[in-house]
Amino acid sequence: MVEQRDFARQLRGNPTDAERALWRQLRQRQLNGHKFRRQHAVGAYIVDFACVERKLAVELDGSQHAKMTNYDATRTRELEAQGFRVLRFWNNDVFGNMDGILTVILAALEATLPPTLTLPPKPTGGGDEKRCVPSCQSPPQRSIPYFLRSHRI
């Protein structure tokens, strides 16, 4: 049996046209500095693209997936159990709506950014000082719209 890492390497060597086109947009931190890996192993599965830092998996589905909805749903649930959010796009959308796909991916990535924190200033005396400067307060939590969760557009 072929080891998962070897299989992922084979998949990277033979990308579909859609995978090749999307990879040209995601590689080398081109999407707002987010690092993506292609054909990345997550648990028992290999996802087409993954931003490990933001726990986001991006899957491109060809026409065969129209008949695999139960398998895809199970796969998505298991990836979510590993802490990943899954975005699914049809291959033909890569060629007809690349800007839309990149917008959805970026929105999903930005929705998970942790708050920017700075260290509190050192107390100078009496101990009554606040422990946190305004810049370290967390911004209001943004909920992720339903369509950005595990959903195919």
Whole-angstrom Cα distance, residue 143 to residue 3?
38
Q: Which of 84, 48, 40, 83 is nearest to 65 (CA)?
A: 48
pLDDT digits (tens, 9 = 90+) for 38-85: 999 998 999 999 999 999 999 998 866 666 788 888 999 999 999 999
pLDDT (0 to 100) of residue 62: 84
Domain count, the chain: 1
* pTM metric for this prediction: 0.69
- Which amino acid belongs to residue 91? N
User: Residue 115: which CATH number?
Assistant: 3.40.960.10
- Look at residue 97 and give its three-state secondary structure: coil
Q: The domain containing residue 111 runs over which residues?
A: 4-152
Whole-angstrom Cα distance, residue 135 to residue 144?
23
